[in-house]
């Protein structure tokens, strides 16, 4: 080894030692070191609280999502994936329920029209009975059939899956 190489190595070692002395011995650096320690402790506590909150949320989610029978231990990833699938199932169920609700509303409107037509067809007063003595059951059935196939409503009895049961129940309620 040459003398020049040894001198360069000594300079590098000396610079490293001096760099360490300036950072440790400086007053501002000591305040920063203390502040850094308190900052680190605060940060660690906040991180601990964040993880605890996240764990509580995952436990709540696990209680809400139905368990899959093939998994013995639920990981965070599997829990989030099953929650995503469960949300899709619930959205599909909601869409189907909304569709059924719309269908039932239309059917209710049709039945109200049918009821109004039936009430207009009969002489209903509070003092008299619904059936007059000259009205027979067969004429009521014919009138019910005419109302079911009414061209004004545009809704035939073939469209109504409950038309026969609704006519017989209407007939029974009239009798």
Choose between 168 and 9: higher pLDDT.
9
Regarding predicted confidence, which is higher, 47 or 172? 47
160 and 107 in contact (C-beta within 8 Å)? Answer: yes
At residue 13, does pLDDT exceed 70? yes
What's the pLDDT tens digit per position in 127-149?
Answer: 444 445 455 555 555 555 554 45
pLDDT digits (tens, 9 = 90+) for 17-67: 776 655 555 566 566 666 777 888 889 999 999 999 999 999 999 999 987
Asked if the structure places residue 135 within a domain, the reply is no
The Cα-based distances of 92 to 33, 82, 132 in angstroms read 57, 15, 52
Cα distances from 142 to residues 94, 118, 122, 172, in angstroms, run 41, 12, 13, 14
Q: Does one domain contain both 92 and 115?
A: yes
Domain contains 133: no
DSSP calls for the chain: --HHHHHHHHHHHHHHHHHHHHHHH-HHHHHHHHHHHHHHHHHHHHHHHHHHHHHHHHHHHHHHSPPPTT-SS--HHHHHHHHHHHHHHHHHHHHHHHHHHHHHHHHHHHHHHHHHHHHHHS---SSS-SS-TT--HHHHHHHHHHHHT-TTTT--TTT-TTHHHHHHHHHHHH-
Question: Residue 1 sits in which domain range?
Answer: 1-64
Looking at the structure, do residues 49 and 95 belong to the same domain, yes or no? no
Among candidate residues 37, 64, 91, the one where a domain is terminated: 64
The verdict on 83 and 108 lying in the same domain is yes
Same domain, 47 and 7: yes
Q: What does the pLDDT read at residue 139?
A: 57
Contacts 24+ apart (CB under 8 A), 154-163: 155/110, 155/113, 160/107, 160/110, 162/107
Q: Are residues 59 and 80 in the same domain?
A: no
Look at residue 173 and tell me if it is in a domain. Answer: no
Q: 33 lies in a domain?
A: yes
Across the range 88-97, mean pLDDT stands at 97
Burial of 148 (0-12, 13-18, 19+ CB in 10 A): buried
| 1 shares its domain with 58 | yes
Domain presence at residue 34: yes
Residue 83 placed within a domain: yes
The reply to whether 51 and 89 lie within a common domain is: no
Is residue 163 assigned to a domain?
no
* 10 shares its domain with 52: yes
Q: Do residues 43 and 12 both lie within one domain?
A: yes
Q: What is the number of domains present in the chain?
A: 2
47 vs 151, higher pLDDT:
47
Domain check: are 19 and 60 in the same one? Answer: yes
pLDDT per residue as tens digits for the range 96-105: 999 999 999 9
Residue 117 forms part of a structural domain: yes
117 and 58 part of one domain: no
* pLDDT tens digits, 156-166: 544 554 444 44
Whether residue 97 sits in one domain with residue 52? no
Residues 6 or more apart in contact with residue 64 via CB below 8 angstroms: 83
């Amino acid at each position: 080894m040459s003398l020049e190489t040894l001198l360069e190595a000594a300079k590098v070692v000396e610079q490293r030692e001096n760099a360490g002395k300036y950072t440790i011995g400086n007053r501002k650096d000591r305040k920063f070191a203390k502040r850094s320690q308190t900052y680190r402790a605060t940060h660690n506590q906040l991180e601990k609280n964040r993880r605890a909150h996240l764990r509580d949320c995952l436990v709540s989610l696990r209680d809400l999502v139905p368990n899959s029978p093939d998994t013995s231990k639920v990981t965070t990833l599997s829990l989030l994936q099953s929650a995503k699938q469960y949300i899709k199932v619930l959205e599909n169920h909601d869409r189907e329920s909304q569709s059924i609700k719309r269908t039932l509303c239309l059917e209710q409107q049709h039945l109200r029209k049918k009821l109004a037509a039936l009430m207009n067809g009969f002489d209903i007063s509070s003092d008299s009975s619904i059936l007059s003595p000259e009205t027979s059951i067969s004429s009521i059935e014919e009138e019910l059939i005419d109302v079911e196939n009414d061209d004004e409503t545009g809704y035939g009895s073939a469209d109504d899956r409950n038309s026969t049961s609704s006519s017989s129940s209407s007939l029974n309620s009239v009798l």
